[in-house]
Amino acid sequence: MIETARADDLPRLAELMVGSPLLRRYGVTFEGALGALMAARAAGDGLLVARTEAGEPVGLAWVIWTRALNRGAYLRLLLVAEAWRGTGLGGRLFEAVEAEARSRANHLYFLVTTDNTVARRFYERRGCRHIGELPGLTAPGLDEALYHKPLRPHGDRLPGDGELSARSQQSSAEAPRACAPNL
């Protein structure tokens, strides 16, 4: 089952983050992870949790909502407990992210460490496109690959910064302009 994370899930999700070999490379601690999750929940970020039938959290997706990049959503983290990898849980969690993001965003963006070939194949199989490299973005020696997936076709997009800019340019072009005196 995948649902919105509850406050009482956060300590277990922080443990899941600390247990990730990838996140250990970034120096994630329990206190740091828990604090970040609490702040994310308070800010209204999307926190989705995948649970076992017994209700134990075994997966996490963390989405940050933004108006940037034509109303893009940023997938900060998609994480599945080691014992649950290869079961399809990651794919179901990603589908849930897409469904929730589609209701609020036009695009999905995220980073993957360049040497994480398993994750890169996972996302590429789901229609995500690698669009560039960001060497040493978050830590020295950890290079990131930037990925993008459109969530809505052009004609069905939510208004974003680009569309608003075009509208304001059109409005200002139609508005009468005051002439400045020649000096």
Q: What is the DSSP letter of 178?
A: P
Residue 162: predicted pLDDT: 52
**Contact residues for 7 (Cβ-Cβ < 8 A; gap 6+):** 41
Select from 3.10.580.10, 3.40.50.2300, 3.40.630.30, 3.30.230.70 the CATH code of 2-169: 3.40.630.30
Torsional class of 176: left (φ above 0), alpha (ψ -120 to 50), beta (otherwise) = beta
Q: Output the CA angle 25-28-32, nearest 5 degrees.
A: 165
**Is the Cβ–Cβ distance between 72 and 63 less than 8 Å?**
no
Q: Model-level pTM?
A: 0.82
Give the sheet arrangement for strand 72-80, strand by strand: 2-4, 46-51, 57-65, 72-80, 107-113, 142-150, 129-139
pLDDT in 10s for each residue of the chain, 183 residues? 999 999 999 999 999 999 998 888 888 999 999 999 999 999 999 999 999 999 999 999 999 998 888 889 999 999 999 889 889 999 999 999 999 999 999 999 999 999 999 999 999 999 999 999 999 998 888 999 999 999 987 877 877 655 544 444 444 444 443 434 433
27 burial type by CB count under 10 A (0-12 exposed, 13-18 middle, 19+ buried) = exposed
Structure token pair of residue 135: 């060497």
Residue 60: predicted pLDDT: 96
**Is the Cβ–Cβ distance between 71 and 106 less than 8 Å?**
yes
